[in-house]
Structure 1
Amino acid sequence: MTTTAQTSPEELRAQMVAAVRDEGHVRTERLQQALNTVPRHAFVPDASLEEAYHPHRAITIKDGGPNGQPASCSTWPTVIAMMLDQLDVQPGEHVLEIGAGTGYNAALLTELVGAEGSVTTIDIHPDVTDHAQRCLNNTGYTQVRVITGDGARGVPEHAPYDKIIVTVGPWDIPPAWIDQLKSDGRLVVPLHWRGQARSISFTHARNGTLVSEDCQLCGFIPMIGIVPSGERAVELHSEVALHLDRDQDVAAEALHEALMKPATKEWSGVTVRSGESFDGIWLRLTATEPGTCRIAATPQAKADGVCSPVLPYRSPAVVDNDSFAYLTARQADGDGEQRFELGAAGHGPTGSELAERLCQHIRDWNRDRTAQPRILAAPYAFLENDLPDGLIITKHHVRLVLA
């Protein structure tokens, strides 16, 4: 984004909207008008105008979150627009937002629902809701209900809702969100599973399940409160860990021993440009490999030759008993442009077979890079035998079925 010191907020806002639209978001005229109307800089008064209207910049408003992360922030405008595209708010609808943040998203929602609709936003941090309420009042969005409380409980006194949007990162889907959503209503939630996070647009089916309509890569601050996380880390080395879900049991000692032996590398023949996304491989793995998880290694681990995941802190891996494999890459001939061939490194007795299996998934992804699994979220009232065919992921409150 090119700016000068004299560029007005309106000009910067127009540049932001244009940049977000060029990335394939802002699919409706109504959303474009909302983004052009709401003054984002008024919701982040401590940021510069350039920071406020940068399309790829989150702005922290509260420190002290888990693992050194912020406790609350204003999300990238590109991600905000992507999730609002997924939510598809219509005039007159009643919307619940979990995670008030700065209040900016609630203001956009207010523009989208119009005078006949309503917006309720809830956050667990009183200072965050104070900030959101103050900014909403200052910008004229006084009709937004701002509530302090645990978002996992929803806001039952104003239910049911046509749409619910979650702007924090939960590992599970609490019952309140399903109970307070109208039949055929929509839930957009950045859900964590198998070491990654995706914003899923669910439709509330008449039988009480949630069925995915769209699934996009994203990242949010982990949710705190009564909904516990089911993620855990298994250290294989002082510089290497696997991040798994509660329903995944692994032989940590055997995997540690496997890591200490040389890797077997297999190559897929599939190449990507520098900066080109290949996250769809991870999504595909979550629907096909029960042992899918995340491997995290420090740069020092790579320098020491311990392991070499394609992205050190965030790469997909597959575990099977005493062996595992993870996504890696090497430079490839790019005919004048920088390209990388994707492959897999395997450790353990069946590491070579796992690496080749991962390479086959890479080739399958390459044949249709936009394919998404169908994801169904079913409360425990549904017996496992009543669920459709697919890979089942067990959470505290729901089972996910990926097909």
Structure 2
Amino acid sequence: MAEQGVAEENVPMSSAQARQLLVDRIRSVGYAGTDAVEQAMRKVERHVFVPAVSIAEAYADDVVITKRDRDGAVSSSASMPSLMALMLDQLDIRPGMKVLEVGTGTGYNAALLATVVGDHGAVTSIDIDEKVVSGARVVLDNNGFAHVRTVAADGAIGQPDGAPYDRIIATVGAWDIPRSWYSQLADGGKLVVPLRWRGQSWSVGFDYLDGQLRSYSAVSCGFVPMIGQEDGERTEIISSDGFVQLVVDADQAITSESLVGVLDQEGVERWSKATIGGGDSFDGIWLRMSATDPGCCRLSAAPEAIQQGLCRPVIAHRDPALADATSVAYLTVRPRGSGPGGPQFELGAIGHGPSGDDLAQRLCAAISAWDLDRTAIPTVVAGPTGSHSGERGSGMRIEKTSTWLELFF
């Protein structure tokens, strides 16, 4: 009997069983929160869109890489199903709507969108890579989604033929919000976009009204960057050996020229008394800093820098930091015993340079403010470059090429 039981356990799941189990898991963490999104994910077969992987891999809650560029960097992929469900929840799509998707990928997300909007809705999916579009086209046609329109086009230009759209969703990372998206979105519509600023990336849900976007949700995420879009993110080296860099935006006067070697100067440690467990997220600190401090950026350190003791970031390649023309401070931790969930760590900052102590204290102040309400998310207002927000108060303004952002609590 034991041998029979083992044999039964090793029988592979069918694609249908694996799909239902995946959706059950996604629902258990609070995503696919609407009946329409849940039923679409239960119905649409993900494995036909990623035929190069096994059924188990197709229905794992993980990214499936489908294309790399000549340097080996990922240029196209099938996103984590839970993240897709979250973004579809943000989009609030309904039957009969017209939707523009920027970033066709495998075509799976377009199929989900088409299932939700139904026969009286319309989905247009665009991608700058013609091979990606043609590959998705074949799978869509062969699986009952011939009515989804696919177009090889630059996402920054959008697709004016079919506008205005009730919803626009980008499934590629965007540093900027193209002016075309403003003009192609219906007044009262919604935009969901994985948007980058100050070295971080958030899937932001925006309402569009009277020519401006106003956020109603934001969730930390990561996406393959949009190809063809002008990218205003810069990488500035700050260590003499080149192993430590800052990722900053075009509107920030933070450069390698005045910062190289700053980490060789004696560091100053400041501690916040706020603690986290090993699995706790601290992305909210970073988001708060971007809404309150003009020096907010990202520190990225190579393994060699950590091994040599040059710096002690929480996460080597993506650590929240503050910088000015001569100094830098970054987030760090130290052990603080154990709690109900396991080891605990106190959050703090290490500053280097003439104003390193001031920057470290500002970073600790942001940690303390976050610790009072770890779920607080700033409102993000956006509009085309040259327009005015109309908001009152002292929101942090971030200037991009085609758009500006204002963040405030």
DSSP-derived class of the 2:238 partner = strand
- Structure 1 residue identity aligned to 2:258: A
User: Aligned residue for 1:274?
Assistant: 278
- Cα pair distance change 1:40/1:4, threshold 3 Å: farther
- Cα pair distance change 1:118/1:315, threshold 3 Å: same
Offset at residue 255 of structure 1 (A):
2.1
DSSP-derived class of the 2:40 partner = helix
**Any stretches of 5+ residues in structure 1 without a counterpart?**
none
In 1, Cα distance between equivalents of 2:359 and 2:155: 40
User: Aligned residue for 2:336?
Assistant: 332
Query: Of the candidates 86, 93, 96, which is equivalent to residue 97 of structure 2?
Result: 93
In 2, Cα distance between equivalents of 1:167 and 1:173: 13
Query: Of the candidates 232, 237, 250, which is equivalent to residue 230 of structure 1?
Result: 232
**Conserved? CA contact 2:385–2:400, under 8 Å:** no
User: Aligned residue for 1:108?
Assistant: 112
**Conserved? CA contact 1:198–1:219, under 8 Å:** yes
DSSP-derived class of the 1:105 partner = helix
In 2, Cα distance between equivalents of 1:147 and 1:382: 31
In 2, Cα distance between equivalents of 1:326 and 1:301: 14
User: Aligned residue for 1:373?
Assistant: 378
**Conserved? CA contact 1:251–1:322, under 8 Å:** no
186-195 or 243-252: bigger deviation:
243-252
- Cα pair distance change 1:159/1:335, threshold 3 Å: closer
Query: Of the candidates 43, 46, 54, which is equivalent to residue 37 of structure 1?
Result: 43
**Conserved? CA contact 2:302–2:316, under 8 Å:** yes
How do 1:63-102 and structure 2 match up within 5 A? 63-64=68-69, 68-102=72-106
Offset at residue 69 of structure 1 (A):
2.4
In 2, Cα distance between equivalents of 1:362 and 1:300: 28
- Structure 1 residue identity aligned to 2:84: I
Query: Of the candidates 50, 54, 59, which is equivalent to residue 53 of structure 1?
Result: 59
- Cα pair distance change 1:33/1:262, threshold 3 Å: same
Aligned: 1:401 with 2:401:
no
User: Aligned residue for 1:343?
Assistant: 348
How do 1:1-400 and structure 2 match up within 5 A? 4-55=10-61, 57-64=62-69, 68-206=72-210, 208-225=211-228, 227-237=229-239, 238-335=242-339, 337-383=342-388, 386=390, 388-389=392-393, 390-400=395-405
- Structure 1 residue identity aligned to 2:144: G
- Structure 2 residue identity aligned to 1:26: A
**Conserved? CA contact 1:388–1:401, under 8 Å:** no
Offset at residue 353 of structure 1 (A):
2.0
DSSP-derived class of the 2:323 partner = strand
Q: TM-score, normalised by structure 1?
A: 0.95
- Structure 2 residue identity aligned to 1:382: S
**Conserved? CA contact 1:287–1:402, under 8 Å:** yes
CA displacement, residues 101-134 of structure 1 (integer Å, 9 cap, x when unaligned): 0000000001110111010000011110011111
**Conserved? CA contact 1:119–1:144, under 8 Å:** yes
**Conserved? CA contact 2:338–2:344, under 8 Å:** yes
- Cα pair distance change 1:188/1:323, threshold 3 Å: same
Offset at residue 267 of structure 1 (A):
1.1
- Structure 2 residue identity aligned to 1:297: A
In 2, Cα distance between equivalents of 1:256 and 1:153: 38
Q: TM-score, normalised by structure 2?
A: 0.94
**Conserved? CA contact 2:32–2:85, under 8 Å:** yes
In 1, Cα distance between equivalents of 2:259 and 2:344: 31
CA displacement, residues 323-358 of structure 1 (integer Å, 9 cap, x when unaligned): 111001111111461121111111111212211221
In 1, Cα distance between equivalents of 2:237 and 2:325: 16
The RMSD of aligned alpha carbons is: 1.4
DSSP-derived class of the 1:25 partner = coil
In 1, Cα distance between equivalents of 2:290 and 2:171: 22
In 1, Cα distance between equivalents of 2:374 and 2:120: 41
Offset at residue 278 of structure 1 (A):
1.2
**Conserved? CA contact 1:201–1:213, under 8 Å:** yes
Question: How many aligned positions are there?
Answer: 396
Offset at residue 380 of structure 1 (A):
2.3
| Deviating 4+ runs (over 6 angstroms) | none
297-306 or 157-166: bigger deviation:
297-306
- Cα pair distance change 1:281/1:68, threshold 3 Å: farther
**Conserved? CA contact 2:155–2:226, under 8 Å:** no
333-342 or 355-364: bigger deviation:
333-342
In 2, Cα distance between equivalents of 1:200 and 1:254: 34
DSSP-derived class of the 1:334 partner = strand
**Conserved? CA contact 2:238–2:262, under 8 Å:** no
In 1, Cα distance between equivalents of 2:115 and 2:289: 39
DSSP-derived class of the 1:158 partner = coil
Offset at residue 276 of structure 1 (A):
1.2
212-221 or 345-354: bigger deviation:
345-354
- Structure 2 residue identity aligned to 1:147: V
In 1, Cα distance between equivalents of 2:388 and 2:349: 37
What's the % identity of the aligned pairs?
Answer: 45
**Any stretches of 5+ residues in structure 2 without a counterpart?**
1-8
